[in-house]
Amino acid sequence: MKDNDCIFCKIVNGECPSYKIFENEYTLAFLDISKDTFGHTLVIPKKHFENVFECDDFYLQEVIKTTKLVANHYKNLGFKAVNILNASGKEAGQSVFHLHFHILPKMDATDFDAWPKFKNDAEDLESQWNKLKM
Ligand code: DGP
């Protein structure tokens, strides 16, 4: 996808509106359009990178710094906790191909469940480790 086809680039450039929570030279945080949970926020780099696989280290650091800043801001507003989520690649559920971290602030444990329930039946850890170690 070219930058000029990207909805998040259009938000950065002011071609599309958004409810901005925070902005600096390199990053932008704004409310997710879905209204699925109160305060659902997206943090993006102002430069177009598809996802974590291709984002350069500088921008990735800036995005995670802004994610922390906004998370702390929400804590100061009275939220108790946050889930921070990222999908990189369509198989992981990524639908907008401009890197973003979701921040889901939570008032309490029963607000909603952003953590998937697994079957816990993957192979034993030593076997996984033998295949995965770097
Ligand atoms: P993901 O599935 O992780 O790629 O999440 C993409 C999110 O982007 C999804 O929660 C909805 C949000 N989104 C898509 N289009 C827009 C838009 O035009 N404005 C805003 N604010 N959010 C959008």
Partnered with residue 41 across adjacent β-strands are 31, 103
**CATH code matching the domain that covers 3-132, chosen among 3.30.428.10, 3.40.50.1450, 2.40.50.100, 3.40.190.10:** 3.30.428.10
Please report the pLDDT score of residue 116 as a whole number. Answer: 86
Residues of the chain where predicted confidence (pLDDT) is lower than 70: 1-2
What residues contact 11, with CB distance under 8 A and at least 6 apart? 17, 18, 28, 30, 44
Atom of ligand 1 nearest to the CA of 19: 21
Sequence spans of domains, the chain: 3-132
This model's pTM is above 0.85: yes
Which pLDDT value is given to residue 3?
73
Residue among 11, 23, 33 to mutate when testing ligand 1 (max atoms within 8 A of CB): 33
Instruction: Find out whether the beta carbon of 84 lies less than 6 Å from any atom of ligand 1.
Output: no
